[in-house]
Amino acid sequence: MTILIGYRDSDMVTIIGDTKSTHVDVSNNNESQSTFDTIHKVFPISENMIIGIAGLNDLGLGIKTLLHSVFSLKHSLTVVEMIKYVESTCVYAHEMYKKVNPKKNADLLIMVAAIDSKINKTYLYELSSQDSFIPKELTGNMTIQGPESEKVRNYIYNPSQPHNISNFDDLIKVFSEAIRLVDHEYVSKDTYSFILTYNNRFGHQAYIRSIDAEGNMKYLDLAGNEIPK
């Protein structure tokens, strides 16, 4: 199980997710085991696009690696054009995976957040194996996928207790607090988020935030090393 929150503003996008990965016993009807790994589920695939993975992690990580190898070099594709490549890559990888691993549950959702600086527009997309990875462009500024998503949404949008948000770090803290409210054995209390921003002066900027189960935030560089505050 995974919970992901995608958010976009006029010049910023982010995806935040928990970090628990459950081992699955393919010999026992794909039953979840009681063993876990801690992994990141949010990744950059280009300077203007990030993805979050929910579902089958090994397949999702393979798709992430392939997309990053394609988009990491300079290119002139628009976000809409990039999404078409994301779709075709997901379809191909998913079909091949199912043929090789017919007994394994291959449910997968890819969440995409991107900035198109040429037209000053931000995007949120979802592509799901249940819908043949047909891209679903989201018109709102936030999407939540995972268990107890309504509890998460209600915490974030609680009119009786509005949150004091002045920058994206404040926003990430609120999202992390909401995820920690999820009471599910396959969802962790710690979170990992990737943030992309754009402005004409500095261009694309990337930021990583890791928050533990006690709410302590770490600032990380792109190599995963902690940055002093």
pLDDT of residue 8: 98
Per-residue pLDDT tens digits for 65-124:
999 999 988 789 999 999 999 999 999 999 999 999 998 889 999 999 999 999 999 999
**Nearest partner of 86 among 119, 101, 108, judged by Cα:** 108
**57-85 core/surface letters (b: 16 or more CB in 10 A; e: else):** bebbbebbebbeebbeeeeebebeebbee
Measure the CA–CA gap between 61 and 87, rounded to whole angstroms.
15
Task: Name the phi and psi angles at 19, rounded to 5.
Answer: -125, 20
pLDDT tens for 19-51 read 987 645 445 555 545 556 778 999 999 999 999
Residue ranges and CATH numbers for the domains of the chain are 4-227 (3.60.20.10)
- Answer yes or no: pTM beyond 0.85: yes
Q: Check whether 177 has a pLDDT greater than 80.
A: yes
At residue 22, the 3 state secondary structure works out as strand
The pLDDT mean for the chain works out to 92
CA angle 168, 173, 176 (to 5 degrees): 125
Exposure of 63 in the CB half-sphere (CA atoms within 13 A) = 35
